[in-house]
Amino acid sequence: MNAPTPSFPPAFSSPSASTALHDPLPLLLRGLNLPTIAREHAEVLARAEAKNWGYRRFLLHLMETEAGERLSRRIERQIKESGLPGGETLGTLDPARLPEKIRRQLPTLLDADLVRRGDNLLCFGLPDRGKSHLAAALG
């Protein structure tokens, strides 16, 4: 007696289904909150086939792309939520406007170790001394 063969929807039954007019993969990827993979998968698949990548390298490339985009979006969102003034960078920071004590601490602040540790940075001082500029540039 033969076991019944499972019946899969056409989208899952053959490799050529991915080239069909109604490819469910982008919809599934968006439903799983993987928008970058949904956008990039066709181009990366073509590159993977042309360069003879294995499935592991193909999947790794897609996942790294998704993770990179998520990190970029997260940074943009956090900068926006911070309320820090835009356009204030270390390149536009004039260290001469900062007090001597802060100028001595600047190299320590710039190595960003306090960010990795999750430390807070409190800035006190008179108006127009560069506190917000320094905070925005570090952010």
pLDDT digits (tens, 9 = 90+) for 79-132: 888 887 778 888 888 888 778 888 888 888 888 787 788 888 888 888 887 788
User: Which pLDDT band, with edges at 50, 70 and 90, does 3 fall under?
Assistant: low
Asked if 40 and 62 touch (Cβ cutoff 8 Å), the reply is yes
Q: For residue 31, which amino acid is it? A: G
pLDDT digits (tens, 9 = 90+) for 45-89: 999 999 999 999 999 999 999 999 999 999 889 888 888 777 888
Tell the burial category of 41 from Cβ atoms under 10 Å away from its Cβ (0-12, 13-18, 19+): buried
Q: Which helix (H) or strand (E) holds 4?
A: none
SS3 83: coil
How far, CA to CA in Å, does 90 sit from each of 73, 87, 97, 110, 120? 22, 10, 13, 9, 19
Asked if 45 and 61 touch (Cβ cutoff 8 Å), the reply is no
Q: For residue 83, which amino acid is it? A: G
Q: Is the dihedral of CA 111, 94, 119, 107 positive or negative?
A: positive
**Which residues are within 8 A (CB) of 73 and not within 5 positions of it... i.e. 6 or more apart?**
none
Return d(Cα 19, Cα 116) in angstroms, integer.
Answer: 45
Q: What pTM was computed for the model?
A: 0.58
